[in-house]
Structure 1
Amino acid sequence: MGHFLTFVSAALTTAALFTDHVNAANNGTTPMQLRLAYAGPTGMVVSWNTYSKLERPTVRYGLAPWALTNTASSDVSITYNTSTTYNNHVKITNLAPNTLYYYQPQHSNSSTLYSFKTSRPAGDGTPYSIAVAVDMGLMGPDGLTTHVGKGASHPLGPHDNNTIQSLQEQGKDTEFLWHPGDIAYADYWLKEEIQGFLPNTTIEEGAEVYESLMNQYYDELTPITSKKPYMVGPGNHEANCDNGGTTDKAHNITYTVSICMPGQTNFTGYRNHFRMPSAESNGLGNFWYSFDHGMVHYVQIDTETDLGHGLTGPDEPGGSEGENSGPFSNIRDAQLNWLQQDLASVDRSKTPWVVVAGHRPWYISATNRSSTVCEDCRKVFEPIFLKYSVDLVLSGHVHAYERNAPISYTNPDPNELNNPSAPWYITNGAAGHYDGLDPLLRPLQNYSRFAQDSAYGWSRLTFHNCTHLTHEFVASANGTVLDTATLFKDRKCSVSRHGW
């Protein structure tokens, strides 16, 4: 009799969940665009979008698919002008480190379960890999595909995988995806229309096209971001709806940020869509923050605004691209002060590796150096990186790949990768988007060690132990590794496998 009652109870629960999902589909509460973000060593933020506002976004979770016995909720279901969806964010706390959990946002299909793994605690020296993709846009008919519009270049080959597909296959064993800026490239909507790639609309209708491209991108990424954390940073293409201006040469018209509708300026979509661990690291919003994962301390910086020392960020009023965005702190030198305090607090015996990512590079063999190289970024950040012995600095912005030597004030470190004292600089903005790749300037800079500007790809970082770190450039088209190099640091530390 007891088994029968259990069966009936389970059947009723399943029926109720099915009914709930049908109702959700009808009233716009079905979850989509699922994404995760670390929230400290024992926390995870679960985010998703819905067409309707949720009164109390809720996530069920547990240690087994059949035992989602815990719930977490929030009151964060937010939207903005021109958005077609609501962004829902729920922070789950008091989780066990390095542990697999199963979860389900409310109104999900009852047969669909998702899972995530919490971060490795500091001091855990178990080897692992992460994926890094910068300057990655929408793939498919409305983005990067096998054809381009008039004046564009670098379409995919007929049998090429794109970077999202490669991240799903060759990157399936990485622990999280780091994307330091230029997400989706929805702000290319007008350029794509001018080039005849997308159907023409009015400027007023452009907001709908922008949101459509953005939503398509987040949908495409869901198979990855629903399973592993998606850690992001700000790039110039998050700033507004038109990347600082587009010119229609055929009609001699130059458009500016003035065409952007309310809600599509000042990083509004970016600020609403994500919840990075700034609260846990005393950072600011999705702009600068840090987190530990095993034997690595990761730092995301903002190269777009809030540079400090009286310098104008590239996207602040009067900046190089006229984005009219930021600053986001009303405290002078807020980001630089935070960065110094953050790096000074790192326990290098537990997290010997320190890796920093910012969107714009300052060491790059770029063709248009005056508008591409962020010299102001170098002035404010490089002294801090040197002072606190940062191991690796990652960037994008230039749509190509260049691995440099470790560098100190433009000079290559004489030790190269054999226990250098300067940070190792790698730029990889070749993840791919509608506009294609950028040509590098040859001969390359004297600090360059390997470069290519003809293949789309992403970076895989593998931390073997406290002394050896390998970087690989993975070609998205077929998964081959086109470049690999290993950094050695001569140091002793107290990490151990499963050191927690």
Structure 2
Amino acid sequence: MKPSSSLVLIPLGVSLASTVAYNGSCHDHKPMQLRLAYAGSTGMHVSWNTFSRIEQPRVHFGECIDHLDQQASSNISVTYRTSTTYNNHVKLGGLKPNTKYYYQPECSNSTTPFTFVTSRAAGDHAPFTAAVVVDMGTMGSLGLSTSAGTGGAVPLKPGENNTIESLESMLHGFDFLWHPGDIAHADYWLKESIQGYLPNFSVADGVKTYERILNAFYDEMTPITSTKPYMVGPGDHEANCDNGGTSDLVHNITYTDSICMPGQTNFTGYRNHFRMPSVESNGLGNFWYSFDHGMTHFIQLDTETDLGHGLIGPDEVGGSEHEDSGPFGSKMNQQTTWLARDLALVDRSKTPWIVVSGHRPWYISAKNKSSSVCLDCQDVFEPLFLNHSVDLVLSGHVHAYERNAPLYNYQIDANELENPTYPWYITNGAAGHYDGLDSLVKPLKNYSRFALDTVYGWSRLTFHNVTHLTHEFVASGNGSVLDTATLRKDHSQLRGWYSEH
């Protein structure tokens, strides 16, 4: 079931007349939900949504705020049957690395152009910082707030910042935002409705409720994603629909995937909404890809489908989805074959650091091992991480924070963070959404070094130089740093490192 980039369906409530070719009129073409993604060090994907299809989406850009002397366009304006909007994607190419640009999608009514800074070229060893969130959903009345339904654990305290507000307040402190899975949590419309958090519950109106939550999230994210690249990965909630068999105890009904809508199944909305640098890295769609930023090679993996052992779907990694999602590769072991090649091509003299992310954790002190820990991920990815000296592996899925020691096959590296041989594993799924936080199992695993399951927060990665990397857990509520640890690696020991460095 490979995605089709050419298929354009008409969403509910949008007439055929609204899909006419763009003729200079901006009726229904006003950009919203603006978002960026790196397309190599010399490119940037610009994406936005409109209420009607644009035949040729176009972006004007330049290095001067009052002189947008360049433009780029595409024919990519896509949607799916239950969507209320179209997703427009344009790639800007031929850009200078680490350079500020001003840009405007055509038909924007913004009086001031938006801005972005391109990726640092590989080999640029200047310090930089990246922000990471996982399992972050809609905030406010449609998601995480100071009140909760019966399933919402640990609501926000009055006056406390949520994670989106925290990121926006520190917008100038990081180069890009990485979100490896569980985006918006709009599939929670059913659970929120049954538990009384959303009023006027009706399964028949599920499509409208789902799209309302989804659009609210992307609207909330726009102040961040319109100026900082927003790199995403697939999580189970990009394919989830029935929330693990949600039950309405009042009416004695347990819902199944029979109520699923196209936007919630087979990663349909996710595939339409984003454009990640898979073409530039020979990856696959928004599922697996890599990109360089200065001294670091970043890799996004798909822990939900295509996990080697053949072409498998989410059910076989312990998910609650129960839908037919993927595979997306056309060949056996396509993702692991790609990963092996991608890692082998890394020039450690230019990008000594390698950081990998996948949605599900490799290691975690969680309640249910079969659904929390990705055993298949351990099996197919860990040997490659060790063989190619991966430095850090990030994950989420469990809605808590746990920083572990460097590990391989449950064995703790004796050097801990002082030049370890094994990869360092950190899980941070504490960004927050309607369902709140999970409780970790005490006592914690022997490989755990610090954990929190009562505070919402995000990760801040600071690459100081070619030998030192700091990870911080930032509390969303007040911006304080509740955990910090620094990894030291002597990358000169690695293959591909040249003596002049």
TM superposition score category, shorter chain reference: over 0.9
Query: Does the C-alpha gap of structure 1 residues 317 and 154 become closer, same or farther in structure 2, counting only changes over 3 Å?
Result: closer
In structure 1, what is the equivalent of residue 12 of structure 2?
none
- Check 1:387–1:114 CA distance in 2 against 1; reply closer, same or farther (3 A cut): same
CA RMSD, 1 decimal: 2.0
Residue of structure 2 in register with 1:12 after alignment: none
What residue in structure 2 maps to residue 465 of structure 1? 465
The answer to whether the 8 A contact 2:244-2:320 is kept is no
> Is the contact made by 2:312 and 2:326 (CA closer than 8 Å) also made in structure 1?
no
Contact 1:303 1:313 in 2 (8 A): no
> Which position in structure 2 is the counterpart of 1:51?
51
1:299 and 1:356 in contact (8 A); partners too: yes
Contact 1:313/1:319, CA 8 A, preserved across alignment? no
> So what's the TM-score if we normalise by structure 1?
0.92
Aligned match of 1:474: 474
> Is the 1:125–1:295 Cα contact (8 Å) retained in structure 2?
yes
Once the two structures are overlaid, the 10-residue window that deviates more, 369-378 or 449-458, is 369-378
Residue equivalent to 1:205? 205
Q: For the Cα contact (< 8 Å) 1:407–1:425, is it kept in 2?
A: yes
Alignment-derived partner of residue 166 in structure 1: 166
Q: 2:242 maps to what in 1?
A: 242
**Match of 2:140, SS?**
coil
**Which whole-Å deviations, capped at 9, do the CAs of 1:167-217 have from their partners, x for residues lacking one?**
011343100000000000000001000110001332221011101100000
Residue 311 of structure 1, CA deviation: 7.2
Q: Does 1:136 align with 2:136?
A: yes
Mean CA deviation greater in 177-186 or 233-242: 233-242
SS of the aligned residue for 1:60 comes to: strand
The CA deviation at 1:23 is: 5.7
Q: Distance in 2 between matches of 1:276 and 1:339?
A: 16
1:312-352 deviation line (CA, Å, top 9, x unaligned): 44246996541321101120000000000000000001000
Q: Determine if contact 2:238/2:269 at 8 Å carries over to the other structure.
A: yes
CA distance in 1, matches of 2:47, 2:499: 32
Matches within 5 A, 1:381-396: 381-396=381-396
The count of residues paired between Structure 1 and Structure 2 equals 476
Say if 2:238 and 2:264, in contact at 8 Å, map to a contact too. Answer: no
Separation (CA, whole Å) in 2 of partners of 1:214 and 1:440: 28
CA distance in 2, matches of 1:268, 1:146: 31
Amino acid at match of 1:45: H
Q: How many Å apart are 1:250 and its aligned residue? A: 2.7
For 1:399, the equivalent position in structure 2 comes to 399
Name the SS for the 2:204 alignment partner. coil
- The one-letter amino acid paired with 2:219 is D
Alignment partners' CA distance in 2, 1:219 and 1:287: 23
Match of 1:116 in 2: 116
**Aligned counterparts of 2:396 and 2:316: Cα–Cα separation in 1:** 19
Corresponding residue of 1:30: 30
Structure 1 contact 243–323 (Cα < 8 Å) conserved: no
CA distance in 1, matches of 2:437, 2:318: 27
> Hey, what's the Cα distance between the residues in 1 that align with 2:302 and 2:71?
34
1:354 corresponds to which residue?
Answer: 354
**Closer/same/farther in 2, CA of residues 316 and 59 from structure 1, 3 Å limit:** farther
State how 1:364-383 maps to structure 2 within 5 Å: 364-383=364-383
Larger radius of gyration: 1
Kept in 2: contact 1:194–1:200 (CA 8 A)? no
1:412 Cα deviation after fit: 0.8
In 2, the alpha carbon distance for the partners of 1:354 and 1:479 equals 27
Equivalent position of 2:185 in the other structure: 185
Pairing of 1:272-287 with structure 2 (within 5 A): 272-287=272-287
Deviations 1:453-496 (A, max 9, x none): 00000000000000000000000000000000000002336799
Instruction: Tell me what 1:60 maps to.
Output: 60
Amino acid at match of 1:104: Q
State the partner residue of 2:302. 302
CA distance change for structure 1 residues 401 and 319 in 2, over 3 Å: closer, same or farther? closer
The 1:287/1:490 distance shift into structure 2, 3 A limit, reads same
Deviation at 1:254, TM superposition (A): 1.3
Unaligned runs of 5+ in 2: 1-21
Secondary structure at the counterpart of residue 207 of structure 2: helix
**2:17 counterpart residue number:** none
Which secondary structure state, in structure 2, belongs to the residue aligned with residue 220 of structure 1? helix
